[in-house]
Amino acid sequence: MRCQYSFEELTIESILDYLFTDYPIHEWCKMDSQIIFYILAIILMLIGLIAAVLPVLPGPVLIWLGALTWAWTGGFHRVSWATLIVLAVVGAVAMVSDLIATSSSGKKAGLTWHATAGSITGGLLGGICLSVIPIIGTIGGAILGALLGVMLVQYHRTRDWTQARQAAKVYAAGFLLGRLFELGLDLLMVGIFIVAVVVK
């Protein structure tokens, strides 16, 4: 099966039409490579939005890579380098703001780099362990794992469960603030991308 859309007619709607039309799975290998790359771009951006609430995945980077994939596939016709530069700036601000929020809350709680490592390790393990429940389990497991990792590392250092729990609470507050701010900027990135695609 060949793609029924010309280059000029390729839109998000036409790609979603491919995604949700009941074609046999073996027909997918016959789709034009252009459509496949557009679908890959959308998947990257969706994962980037999901990653906004995870402590271990760089959401802005994934969204930017999705936009770059779309731009490259379309010959930078609808999404230009100027748009990609704007998205890169917004993404950098999102990542820096999250880093500042997390590190400031960590200092307030008296955490060291060991606790940060515990947060990352716990987030990875929690996300993997609960990945049997798609999306929700992965997100919830990563968040709970990160907090548990902080608490266990802090307890190992202080041998005081009360202080460890308090440190985890302070870290959670900073983590939540950073994630919410990053999610807002991630949505802004996707909005800028959509405007660039629709307008052009």
Domain count, the chain: 1
Residue bearing the bigger pLDDT, 54 or 178: 178
* Phi then psi dihedrals of residue 4, to 5 deg: -85, 0
pLDDT band at 117 (very low <50, low <70, confident <90, very high): confident
- State which residues form the domain around 34: 7-199
Q: Is residue 1 part of a domain?
A: no
Q: What would the pLDDT profile of 125-167 be if each residue is shown by its tens digit?
A: 887 887 778 767 777 888 888 888 888 888 888 888 887 888 7
DSSP sequence for 23-48: --GGGGGGS-HHHHHHHHHHHHHHHH
Q: Is residue 2 part of a domain?
A: no
Q: What would the pLDDT profile of 14-38 be if each residue is shown by its tens digit?
A: 555 655 555 444 444 445 678 889 9
The pLDDT of residue 191 is 95
Task: Judge whether residue 70 has pLDDT over 90.
Answer: yes
The pLDDT of residue 90 is 96
Q: Is residue 166 part of a domain?
A: yes
Provide the token pair at 72: 């490259």
Provide the token pair at 84: 């990609």
Q: Is residue 109 part of a domain?
A: yes
| Mean pLDDT score across all residues of the chain | 79
Q: Is residue 54 part of a domain?
A: yes
Enter the pTM of the model: 0.71
| pLDDT (mean) for 49-73 | 87
E runs forming strands in 5-161: none
Contacts of 39 (CB under 8 A, 6+ apart): 15, 18, 19
